[in-house]
Amino acid sequence: MSSYCDIDKLNKEATEHPFFTERLNRWKSGENGANGCNIENDAAATGFDNTKCLTKDERACYSSYKLGTTRQKLDASLVSVYQPQSSTTASFDSNYNTTMLTGVVWAALGTTVLYYAFTKI
Question: What are the pLDDT digits (tens) for 63-99?
Answer: 888 898 899 999 988 887 787 777 777 888 889 999 9
**Amino acid in the structure at residue 68:** G
**Contact in structure between 16 and 76 (CB atoms under 8 Å):** no
Query: pTM above 0.85?
Result: no
- Number of residues that this document lists for the chain: 121
**Amino acid in the structure at residue 75:** D
**Contact in structure between 17 and 7 (CB atoms under 8 Å):** no
Spatial separation of the C-alpha atoms in residues 116 and 43, rounded to whole Å: 92
